[in-house]
Amino acid sequence: EAEVAQSPRYKITEKSQAVAFWCDPISGHATLYWYRQILGQGPELLVQFQDESVVDDSQLPKDRFSAERLKGVDSTLKIQPAELGDSAMYLCASSLGPATNLFFGPGTRLTVL
């Protein structure tokens, strides 16, 4: 069964450093999402792509976060500089299109020291 791949699974960094996360969606899925899940809370959408275009980044802290999906396939989420409050699970999900079933990857757990 096809799965969403994410790497790394775990990342520990110091504040003010740069970090990057990678996501490879299920083949053929046009819509890709990055969610942030703070411990004890539900996931919150950071950015949504339709193919290579951003369709929703209203909750993305653009002063430090950036996301790209250059060829409309895999995607990278970057944080620079990392802050203590960025410690969370970063989840990638993909779907055939908006408003269809989302399939989630295993997530990247970020710890900022």
Partner 1 sequence: GNSVTQMEGPVTLSEEAFLTINCTYTATGYPSLFWYVQYPGEGLQLLLKATKADDKGSNKGFEATYRKETTSFHLEKGSVQVSDSAVYFCALILIAGGTSYGKLTFGQGTILTVHP
Reading phi first (left if > 0) and then psi (alpha if -120 to 50, else beta), residue 106 is in: alpha
Closer residue to partner 1, CB minimum distance, 81 or 106? 106
Q: Say whether residue 105 binds partner 1 (CB under 8 A).
A: yes
Out of 46, 77, 91, 110, point to the residue binding partner 1 (CB under 8 A).
91
| By CB under 8 A, residue 55 contacts partner 1 | yes
d(CA 34, CA 96): 15
Which CB sits closer to partner 1, 22 or 104? Answer: 104
Chain residues that interact with partner 1, rule: CB under 8 A: 4, 31, 33, 40-45, 48, 55-56, 91, 93, 97-99, 101-107
